[in-house]
Structure 1
Amino acid sequence: MLASILITGGDAQKRQAKALLKATDFLGDKTENNPDFFLIKEETSIKIAQIRELKGKVSLKPFSAKAIVVVISEADKMTLPAQNSLLKILEEPPQSSRIILTAPGPKTLLPTIVSRCQIIHLSDETKIDQEILNSQFSILNSLLSASPGQKILLVEKYSRNQEQALAFCQNQLLFLRELLHQKTYNPKPIYHQISLNIAQIARMMRSLQKSLILLKNNVNPRLLIENLLISYPN
Structure 2
Amino acid sequence: MILKEIDGNDKLIERLEYLSASGNLSHAYVFEGDSCVNKVLLADCFIKAILCEENKGDGCEKCITCNKINHGNHEDIIYVDADGKSIKDEAIEELQSKIKKKPFFGDRNIVVIKHADTMTIRAQNRLLKTLEEPPQGTIIILLSENIENLVQTILSRCVVFRVNPFETFEYGAIKEQAQLLVKMLFNKEAFYLVKSKLNEFAEDKDSAMKLLDSMELIYRDLTIINTKESRNYRKDYIYKAVELIEEARRDLQRGISTGYAMKNLIIKIGG
Normalising by the residue count of structure 2, what TM-score does the alignment of the two structures yield? 0.45
Residue 106 of structure 1, CA deviation: 2.3
The structure with the larger Rg is 2
Is the 1:61–1:96 Cα contact (8 Å) retained in structure 2?
no
CA contact (8 A) 2:27 2:139 kept: yes
Which residue of 2 is the match for residue 170 of structure 1? Answer: 170
8 Å Cα contact 2:27-2:134 kept in structure 1: yes
Is 1:26–1:66's contact at 8 Å kept on the other side of the alignment? no
Asked if 1:64 corresponds to 2:105, the answer is: yes
Q: Pick closer, same or farther for the CA change 1:25–1:66 going to 2, 3 Å.
A: farther
Q: Which one of the candidate residues 16, 19, 23 is aligned to 2:40?
A: 16
Alpha-carbon contact 1:2-1:116 (below 8 Å) kept: no
Instruction: Note the C-alpha offset of 1:62.
Output: 1.2
Contact 2:99 2:135 in 1 (8 A): yes
Contact 1:8/1:105, CA 8 A, preserved across alignment: yes
Q: How far did 1:67 drift?
A: 1.4
Match runs of 1:85-164 below 5 Å: 85-123=126-164, 125=165, 128=166
Q: Which secondary structure state, in structure 1, belongs to the residue aligned with residue 38 of structure 2? A: helix
CA deviation digits over 1:201-232, x for unaligned, max 9? Answer: xxxxxxxxxxxx8xx8xxxxxxxxxxxxxxxx
How far apart in 2 are the matches of 1:78 and 1:90?
Answer: 15
Query: Where does 1:196-215 land on structure 2 (aligned, <5 Å)?
Result: none
Provide the rounded CA distance (Å) in 2 between the counterparts of 1:2 and 1:84.
Answer: 20
Is 1:5 paired with 2:29? Answer: yes
Deviations 1:178-199 (A, max 9, x none): xxxxxxxxxxxxxxxxxxxxxx
Please say if residues 26 and 139 of structure 2, whose CA atoms lie closer than 8 Å, have aligned partners that are also in contact.
no
SS of 2:34's equivalent in the other structure is coil
**Partners of 1:26 and 1:52 in 2: how far apart?**
26
Q: In percent, how many aligned pairs have the same letter?
A: 32
Deviation at 1:80, TM superposition (A): 0.8
Specify the alignment match of 2:77 in structure 1: 37
Helix, strand or coil: the match of 1:61? Answer: coil
Aligned equivalents of 1:65, 1:24: Cα separation in 2: 13
d(CA) in 2 for partners of 1:21 and 1:80? 29
CA deviations on 1:70-109 (whole Å, 9 max, x unpaired) are 1000101111110000000000111221110011132110
- Relative distance call for 1:114 and 1:5 in structure 2 (3 A) is same
Cα deviation digits, residues 120-140 of structure 1 (max 9, x gap): 1112x3xx3xxxx6xx7xxxx
AA of the residue aligned to 2:30: L
Query: 1:47 is matched with which residue: 52, 73, 88?
Result: 88
The question of whether the paired residues in 2 share the 8 Å contact of 1:74 and 1:104 is answered with: yes
Aligned amino acid, residue 113 of structure 1: I
Amino acid at match of 1:170: E
SS at match of 2:46: helix
In structure 2, what is the Cα distance between the partners aligned to 1:68 and 1:172?
33
Contact 2:27 2:137 in 1 (8 A): no
Q: Secondary structure at the match of 1:5?
A: strand
Distance 2:113 2:150 in 1: 12
- Structure 1: gaps of 5 or more residues: 137-168, 178-212, 217-234
Gaps of 5+ in 2: 1-24, 53-64, 177-199, 204-271
Preserved CA contact (<8 Å) 2:80 2:114: yes
RMSD of aligned residue pairs (Cα, Å)? 2.8
Superposition TM-score, scaled by structure 1 size = 0.52
